[in-house]
Amino acid sequence: MIDLDANDLLLFARVAEVGSFSRAADRLRLPKSTVSRRIAALEKRLGERLVNRSSRKLT
């Protein structure tokens, strides 16, 4: 069983909605590093890449 934090799922949903770690962080009033770290931890727990990162955009 995978131990998931509902807040991390909501955080991922916001990143997907706005298409940017920076914009999601601004809207949630969190540091960008926190958003990035929590998404990376969620990906690790799930064993799947949720966000494809490039220097220009997220998909």
Average pLDDT over residues 2-15: 89
Instruction: Spell out the domain ranges in the chain.
Output: 1-59
Q: Could you tell me which residues are beta bridge partners of residue 53? A: 58
- Res 5: pLDDT: 85
Look up the pTM and report it.
Answer: 0.85
Four-residue CA torsion sign, 59, 40, 8, 34? negative
Confidence of residue 1 (pLDDT cuts 50, 70, 90): low
The yes/no answer on whether domain 1-59 falls in CATH 3.90.1170.50 is no
